[in-house]
Chain A
């Protein structure tokens, strides 16, 4: 049982990291980034191509992260412009549809150009004993990265002046403007950051299992579930939801069966949303 829960936490930290980028962009800009998983895969494919070309792993991974961040930034500065001119439901709907289109385009291009590309990072070393459970080094490294990045993000949002500016736009865009915060700049920053985070999830994921070109949609759906359960706009919420769902996932896979895992996962998400419609934590509350 303990090992199963442990696996769940490891998986959950990945879920959390996955939800973070999506939740921030939605909380901030009202854009549900349905191309989120495709950005993750894009980063992974770029990294894999660099590795194939003989680049050192670290450099290849950094290139992959930068590529995903750059594409996200470019989307924010171009395609999302008309979206930001709208308010409320109009904005959400247009943003969602445009990003869905982007998802298809990235998916299509990647599958067409690199149909068999996959990113696999082999993390060497023997399994390590953690509280009586043997953990693979890849899993541990992935968890450490997720925890580290999550902690840095929470501290940044809570204490840094720029982080407070991000939260101010999430909580009240007009109030933020009146304080001298430029929503456009904050959005561009967070959009780029979300691209980097998406790619980072693909990278850490590839430490335990290969990330293939068609993994985008799975990433997006998982990110959506995590973000909604955690409360759209909350980083700590995403991690909390990620870990809970991760444990639910492995426990149900172990005791009930892998084939119903998705159903159990969605069920858990649905129950949370019925009990707490705004998610576990509120937007911009770190």
Chain B
């Protein structure tokens, strides 16, 4: 059974759906990418999944339990950690405080913190620094680190490479790779298609709010349509 199961989900703004009956599933321990250009509906889809907006139709299940229309904080406590593209860190708090809040309402466990700081040694160096003064790459690390503090069952990331230089974008995916090595289930939305397909087991192509194509990353990378639209192959 899928760890995260999204069935016929529609969502949008002011009564106008942006995402139309999207179905996708992520198995336990699997890494899945949703690829698509700017405005395809990736962010809307993810916001509806993690409870930041109400879907107009469809359902979401986390490890078999329905979480559709539950509030975002409830879903977060239930084991789905969402890392938005804009990070939404607490700018006036230190790196450590940001991480600690990731474990809320539980007390942050030292092992968990150790794991995050091992994954991102940079954060250990900046422990006392205010999150608002970190570089873009460090903020991205902190956002992922904060999400990991709750020991989530599924990590959902919206465009983790937003605002990152090419080398840092590669580093971000290297960190995700390491997390997958730990058995974490990951769903990621990405515009930088080569990076996403290089990382994920499977992918879905989202265009104008519809899933146009799905398959293994290898199959998608071979697909002429994907090559032309996203991989710069003529």
Contacts and interface: CB of A to CB of B under 8 A. Distances in A.
Contact of A161 (B51, B72, B81, B104): B104
B147 A178 contact: yes
B89 A175 contact: yes
B92 interface: yes
A48 B93 CA distance: 42
Given A177-B76, A178-B81, A180-B105, 5 more contacts: A161-B100, A165-B104, A167-B90, A179-B150, A182-B74
Contact of B107 (A161, A167, A175, A180): A161
B150 A283 contact: no
Contact of A182 (B73, B87, B146, B150): B73
Given A161-B105, A164-B100, A165-B104, A177 B92 contact: no
Nearest to B105: A180
A183 B101 CA distance: 14
Contacts of B88: 172, 174-175, 178
Contacts of B105: 161, 165, 180-181
Contacts of B52: 174, 177-178
A181 B101 contact: yes
Contacts of A174: 52, 72, 84, 88
B82 interface: yes
Contacts of B76: 177-180
Nearest to A285: B92
B153 to A, nearest CB: 14
B90 A168 contact: yes
B50 interface: yes
Given A164-B97, A174-B84, A180 B104 contact: yes
A167 B97 CA distance: 11
Nearest to A174: B88
A283 B92 contact: yes
Interface in A228-274: none
Given A174-B84, A178-B76, A284 B92 contact: yes
Contacts of A175: 87-90
Contact of A171 (B82, B87, B92): B92
A182 B76 CA distance: 10
Interface in B58-85: 71-74, 76-77, 81-84
Interface residues of B, number: 30
B39 interface: no
A110 B76 CA distance: 45
B93 A180 contact: no
B102 interface: yes
Interface size class for chain A? 20 to 34
A125 to B, nearest CB: 42
A282 interface: yes
A203 to B, nearest CB: 32
Contact of A177 (B72, B89, B91): B72
B15 to A, nearest CB: 15
B104 A181 contact: yes
- Counting from the closest, the 9 A-B pairs by CB-CB distance are A175-B88, A177-B72, A180-B76, A180-B77, A171-B90, A285-B92, A182-B73, A179-B101, A177-B73
Q: Which of B76, B84, B101, B150 has the most CB of A within 10 A?
A: B101
B100 A282 contact: no
Interface string A104-126: 00000000000000000000000
A284 B105 CA distance: 19
Contacts of A282: 92
Interface in A168-192: 168, 171-172, 174-183
27 contacts: A161-B100, A164-B93, A164-B100, A164-B104, A167-B90, A167-B92, A168-B104, A171-B90, A171-B91, A171-B93, A174-B52, A174-B72, A175-B87, A176-B90, A177-B52, A177-B72, A177-B73, A178-B50, A178-B83, A179-B104, A180-B76, A180-B77, A180-B104, A180-B105, A181-B104, A182-B73, A284-B92
Contact of B150 (A180, A284, A285): A180
A180 B105 CA distance: 7
Given A164-B101, A174-B84, A180 B73 contact: yes
A178 B92 contact: no
A182 B71 contact: yes
A210 B43 CA distance: 57
A159 to B, nearest CB: 10
A279 to B, nearest CB: 13
A165 B77 CA distance: 14
B231 to A, nearest CB: 32
B98 to A, nearest CB: 9
Contacts of B150: 179-180
A171 B146 CA distance: 15
